[in-house]
Amino acid sequence: MTPTSTLDLHESRPVISGKGRPTVYCIDQFHPQAVEHARTLFNVVLPSDSEFKDWRINATAILMKSSWMRAEDIASCPNLIAIGKQGVGIDKIDAKACAERSIKVINTPGANARAVAELVLALAMSVAREIRSITQRQLDHPVNKETCSGLTLYKKKIGVLGMGNIGRTVAEIFRGAFDAEVIAYDPFLPCPADSWAHIPHERAATVEEVYTKCDILTIYVPLTTET
Ligand SMILES: NC(=O)c1ccc[n+]([C@@H]2O[C@H](COP(=O)([O-])OP(=O)(O)OC[C@H]3O[C@@H](n4cnc5c(N)ncnc54)[C@H](O)[C@@H]3O)[C@@H](O)[C@H]2O)c1
């Protein structure tokens, strides 16, 4: 994990167990290897553990993936000082409520980017070649191949909104696989942007420019009121 910010729980948290290690509550299900790693650092309490039932009262630190931590959830955790969130998106966590209590939020930028980008390739191929609808028809009766069409992706123009970790990786994959033309829009990255200067691309000045030029549109921006 590569957190954007770090918090030394050993220094800043009050609850120390018998083993002298901080306690973290995993409120979502994590990969067993992640739990194993966490156990080398913390006393880990899982939802299956009996002491988990009082996590809201007792937790000073939680690890989460897909749960929500709304303002009322934050309020129900009087001792919380840190939230570890797997993944980059923190829109399910009420930032204002955390800031008011100086609760640190630690995410993992880039950790899922490759996996997401490869799934994008799979889904784009699936849509372009109508794999789902053809498979569905095939379940009922043999499909005449003359009734199957679809789009090849070779040299198609891919419009990427948001050239962060995922957008950049998707652009690289589509360049490599299809010699695709990349039209990129990301107003927050410097121009030229060093992190993706190696990807041949056209930089769009507006979202509308991307819409009018691209064959495939793909979006990787944080969820904000603007987006
Ligand atoms: N649903 C899922 O399974 C899943 C998995 C991983 C990531 N995500 C979401 O995808 C998003 C992108 O992930 P990432 O790892 O690439 O994040 P990232 O932070 O590396 O990149 C996000 C990029 O979006 C740009 N951006 C912000 N606002 C924009 C706007 N209005 N228009 C254009 N660009 C804008 C930023 O400048 C940044 O470069 C995250 O917010 C995350 O929540 C979802």
Q: What is the mean pLDDT of residues 111-127?
A: 96
Q: State residue 195's pLDDT score.
A: 86
Please work out whether the CB of residue 214 comes within 6 Å of at least one atom of ligand 1.
no
Query: Alpha-carbon distance 186 to 193, whole Å?
Result: 10
pLDDT at residue 84 tops 90 = yes
Q: Which atom of ligand 1 is nearest to the CA of 188?
A: 37
Q: Give the tokens for residue 131.
A: 């794999």
Tell how far the Cα of 109 is from the centroid of ligand 1, in angstroms: 10
Query: Alpha-carbon distance 51 to 157, whole Å?
Result: 54
Q: State residue 194's pLDDT score.
A: 82
What rounded mean pLDDT belongs to the chain?
A: 91
Torsion of CA 144, 146, 149, 155, to 10 degrees: 130
Tell how far the Cα of 76 is from the centroid of ligand 1, in angstroms: 29
Tell how far the Cα of 92 is from the centroid of ligand 1, in angstroms: 14
pLDDT tier at 193 (50, 70, 90 boundaries)?
confident
Query: Alpha-carbon distance 215 to 129, whole Å?
Result: 14
Q: Which domains does the chain have, with CATH numbers?
A: 23-106 (3.40.50.720), 113-219 (3.40.50.720)
Q: State residue 192's pLDDT score.
A: 77
pLDDT tier at 12 (50, 70, 90 boundaries)?
very low
Please work out whether the CB of residue 93 comes within 6 Å of at least one atom of ligand 1.
no
Tell how far the Cα of 222 is from the centroid of ligand 1, in angstroms: 4
- Taking only the tens place, the pLDDT of each residue in 135-174 is 999 999 999 999 998 999 999 999 999 999 999 999 999 9
Sheet of 216-219: strand order equals: 201-203, 181-185, 157-161, 216-219
pTM for this predicted structure:
0.87
Please work out whether the CB of residue 188 comes within 6 Å of at least one atom of ligand 1.
yes
Tell how far the Cα of 6 is from the centroid of ligand 1, in angstroms: 20
User: Best substitution site from 2, 112, 188 to test ligand 1's pocket, by max atoms within 8 Å of Cβ?
Assistant: 188
Tell how far the Cα of 164 is from the centroid of ligand 1, in angstroms: 6
Q: State residue 176's pLDDT score.
A: 97
pLDDT at residue 8 tops 70 = no
Q: What is the mean pLDDT of residues 5-28?
A: 65
User: Best substitution site from 186, 207, 218 to test ligand 1's pocket, by max atoms within 8 Å of Cβ?
Assistant: 186
Top pLDDT among 4 and 97 is at 97
